Amino acid sequence: MPTMNLLILRHFLIAVPFFTLFFTLSFSSTSSWAAWAESEYPALNTCTDSALQQGLEASLCSLNLEQAVDRKQLCVSLVDVTDPNHPRLAQVNGDRMMYAASLPKIAILLGAFERIASGDLKQDQHMNATLVRMIRNSSNSAATEVLNMVGKEYLAELLQSPRYHLYDADQSGGLWVGKEYSKAPAWKRDPLANLSHGATALQVARFYYLLETGQLVSPEMSHEMKTILGEPAIHHKFVKGLQNATPEAKIFRKSGTWRTYHADSALIEHNGRRYIAVALANNPSAGVWLKDLIVALDDLICHS
């Protein structure tokens, strides 16, 4: 019997460190999640800046775009993130859902890196090349391939998750991918506006703010996503405007075009400043609007 008691004691002492480690890891994981939820960075929608708002509205008037704003044909969000701890937000129609064509491919990019982080997808040479084609060249076939690897339902849940909250059906919506970038029918349109590929300017701006502050997946993967968004291969709208006016500006960008719908979004580094610009528009002339708009916004941030 004493021998049996010693064996039981020995097994208990071996087991204790295992359970201690298990509970320590569990607690650590919970603490990590709580730390993420209580980010040091503010909620972007609470960071409205009256001076920047006045400047945005004046810029739109100077471009004769105030009627487009009044008619809900133009949605703009502008965020000065030179000091990421104290962003400054200005917007018009920032919470309005609009068809955004290829712009929501940034959501597929996020889904891919979440899957890579969890080990469900492999980040090999083919994956990296496909992501680059999807973003820089706006390849529809690449976007469809990655979307199916990520999983449509998984992506929809990720965008609505408490962690990211990039789409909120109880508020004004946000980023949505409810259709492949192919001739296949929509599998799930967004609950609010019935769009297959939709966005609000504010939620797209939030995506870039989370990216710039390292809050998408991880700081390392946020950096990788930002790199993929750099060196755009399509030179129109924001890119064309900045290339003509300030070619030294660095731009990390995703745009979208379909019929009269024109969208552009970017994180821009110029003249020692960093800012996020997002514009969604529905008008045959909107491509020209966005080309001129980004020059005015750059001047507002960098020279006012």
- Write the secondary structure of 225-285 as one string of H (helix), E (strand) and C (coil): HHHHHECCCCCCCHHHHHHHHCCCCEEEEEEEEECCEEEEEEEEEECCEEEEEEEEEECCC
How wide is the angle at C-alpha 115 spanned by C-alphas 18 and 98, nearest 5°? 140
Q: What are phi and psi of 96, to 5 degrees?
A: -90, 125
- Domain range annotation of the chain: 49-103+168-179+187-303
Contacts of 168 (CB under 8 A, 6+ apart): 160, 174
Pairing of strands 250-258, 261-270: antiparallel
Contacts of 111 (CB under 8 A, 6+ apart): 146, 147, 150, 151, 154, 155, 158
Contacts of 152 (CB under 8 A, 6+ apart): 177, 178, 187, 188
Three-state secondary structure call for residue 187: coil
- Cα distance between residue 284 and residue 273, in whole Å: 32
Digits of tens for pLDDT over the chain (304 positions)? 344 343 333 443 333 333 333 333 332 333 333 334 446 899 999 999 999 999 999 999 999 999 999 999 999 999 999 999 999 999 999 999 999 999 999 999 999 999 999 999 999 999 999 999 999 999 999 999 999 999 999 999 999 999 999 999 999 999 999 999 999 999 999 999 999 999 999 999 999 999 999 999 999 999 999 999 999 999 999 999 999 999 999 999 999 999 999 999 999 999 999 999 999 999 999 999 999 999 999 999 999 7
The model's pTM is: 0.88
For 173-243, strand residue ranges (E) read 173-174, 176-177, 197-199
Give the CATH class of 49-103+168-179+187-303.
alpha beta
Tell me the average pLDDT of the chain.
90
Q: Structure tokens of 181? A: 């970038």
Q: Structure tokens of 230? A: 């750099």
- Cα distance between residue 275 and residue 237, in whole Å: 17
